[in-house]
Amino acid sequence: MKRITFSAVAGALLLTLISSMHGAQAQAKGDKVVSRDELRACMDSESDLATRRKALEERRGKNNEEAVAIKAEATELSAEQKRAEESSSGMGQRERFERKVRAHNARVKAQQAGTESLQADYEGLNKSLVAHNDKCGGISYSKEDKEAILKEREGKK
């Protein structure tokens, strides 16, 4: 008599369960067949999201460059402060240094505001992306509808 081990039975049962769950999910979710107008809206939304993402990435790059420049300026100001403290050349040098510090602090505040704005815009993009995925994820469409929309877009160029 051949013995079947518990692990073999458990493995087979697990595979059966997983495959039946997957089939149930596929049946429950199903692809939503959309009209040409709905497909156009999804394609427009996708294009808009890509444009927004690209613009945000460019802003992020500039913001990062500004942060690096501010850090370098802070290092220079720190060295200048040490020289000013060691020097006894008077008020003129101290006033010049304080003007530079005020300008630097204003630059830091502007960069921080830019960072906060950028972060808010990324959060907005993320929410739009989630909404797009909810609306347009898992859709089905006819090949002819997509080709027609692409031809429309080519005609507008």
Q: What span, in angstroms and rounded, lies between the C-alpha atoms of 105 and 110?
A: 9
Intervals of the chain under pLDDT 50: 1-15, 17, 20-29
Reported pTM: 0.69
Q: What span, in angstroms and rounded, lies between the C-alpha atoms of 89 and 133?
A: 65
Token pair 């300008």 in the structure block, residue:
103
Where do the domains of the chain lie?
1-30, 34-156
pLDDT of residue 5: 38
**Nearest CA among 132, 150, 146 for reference residue 35:** 146
pLDDT of residue 108: 97
Task: Quote the strand ranges of 10-104, DSSP E.
Answer: 32-33
